[in-house]
Structure 1
Amino acid sequence: MKVIELAEPYAKSEIYPEQIVLALGFFDGVHRGHQAVIKAAKQQAQKMGVKLAVMTFDRHPSAIFQQRDPQKIQYLTTIAEKLALFETFGADIAYVVKFDEKLAYLKPQEFIDKYVVGLNAIGITAGSDYTYGPHTVANMKNLPKYAKNRFEIQTVELLKEDEKVGSTGIREALANGKVELADHYLGYVYQTTGKVVHGFERGRQIGFPTLNIETSPAKQLPAVGVYAVEVGLDGKRYHGMASIGYNETFGDDLAKTLEVNLFDFSAMVYGKKVTVYWKNYLRPMVKFNSIAELIAQLEADKQHSEALLNVQNEN
């Protein structure tokens, strides 16, 4: 997949020179609703005999329109994860457009002229809630007025179950520790990638050594709690249990950490990149009265995790 980064104003020489079908959206999480858009766009591209391009932005539009601090916005997928998912679902080209004031305040007609027609799109596919400016005018119902018969328009209705399958609902599920629900809406297992760093080695001292994982502040973690997980490391998958919390048993006012105890694993892997796959919520974090109580609970957590993960691997 070819990745092209654009910023307003872009040069014509930067874009893919041939005709394309363009899938439009922000695509945070690339969840099942987004996948339906990309799949429909792929079918449209094959029908028209051209490549499929997917366009996204480098940051959430709220950073401009709601004046949110870009450093405090959290995402379901990093740019790298999003691009990998685009490729998995059939994109030939990915446009990553810088979302700044120059782009944000383009008029709807300007946006369509430059970022649809200007990218050589002869067909576009988007969800029914897609907007390209003020939602009252720059919506899918009004798109034919701006398109002026220059490209084919395909609208994909929102995916609904009990409620809309969307990024907001997935963020809420993760914020409440409901990783199984988040995984269901995503259509794949939510994951967090980070680097193994040195910690206080308290787990090692009580027989449960952990990998302390440093993650990007821009990537949303599930809620504080204990989870059954799988961990990708050096091309292999390992079973384990993860805790997100403040290590209350060892003191007050400690920093929040992500720690993973891998089962039947003892290698030193400091500095390596690992990916945590969030499979099941086990329990909330608890401040134990003694180390012995903590160890007993960790033994129970390990048995619970192994049972859950083994059953999932059998299915």
Structure 2
Amino acid sequence: MQRFQQTLAAPVELEEVGIFSGQKVRIVLEPAEAGEGVTFVLEGVSGAPRIPLRPEHVLGTEGATVLSDGYHSVYMVEHLLSALHGLGIDNVVVRVFGPEIPLFDGSAEVFVREILRQGLRLQPALKRYLEVLRPFEVRNGVGCLRFRPAPEFRLRVRIAFDHPLIGEQILQLTLNPLNYQKELAFARTFGFKEDLLRRKEKGLLRGGDLSNALVLDESRVLNGPLHRPDEFVRHKALDLVGDLFAAGIPFRGEVEAELSGHRLHIEALKNLLSAPGVARLSDGLAPVAFFFLAPKKRSFRAHY
């Protein structure tokens, strides 16, 4: 397990058409000082507001994870956050020129490839972790997230879809930078033809096409082949890794996700952080208490 914080060795610049806006979107990832965490700078907005990556600034929706300070928002942050979390990057400035983060092929592979092309730099500060101290569970209908203490990041993800190519799929993995690159980074998001056509007709996916995601009809993938037979559950795991980074620091513990999505991931994380004695911020040597003020309204049942 990594002991020291990391940032980028050099800036990384990426550009692509946004799936929601249909506009060219550019992002620039820049090194940040130790302890600064992840900060988004909205360069396309007057005054270039800065939004630190914190739980209170992150929202989970049905199809994406959103960063917002209540006035300005950036959509589709989950795959970028997944790449940062998966590679063990603690400190970075993300300059966004547009309303969303590019989707590229629907995976985290472009982010990973371009970040590693520039390289990473160790920093003279101990790594901080969000550490699970005792079991904790959050349910929402059929969906469930269970957290347990563990000395590393372990995940178990289960999905179930009534489709001949998906059905029930389960993935178990101990997350580290190498495993993330080999087992998750390539996994593309997926959707069903009828749903995507409906959203296109409503103008919700102005930049979406068959290059952004795996698209399935009733029996097959229209734009295959799959990278792995279980690429679907691997992408759900990729999303989970990104959503858990909404805490702004890497996760240490075991998490089991059943039939979950962005909304449940983010709400479960906020419940975890607000429950007394369940999680703490630890630097590996001198743990300190971690406090988070959760929203007053909750629609999720938490058990611990």
Q: TM-score range with shorter-chain normalisation?
A: under 0.3
TM-score (norm 1): 0.22
Which has the higher Rg, Structure 1 or Structure 2? 1
Q: Which structure has the higher relative contact order (CA within 8 Å, separation 6+)?
A: 2
In terms of fraction of residues, the more strand-rich structure is 2
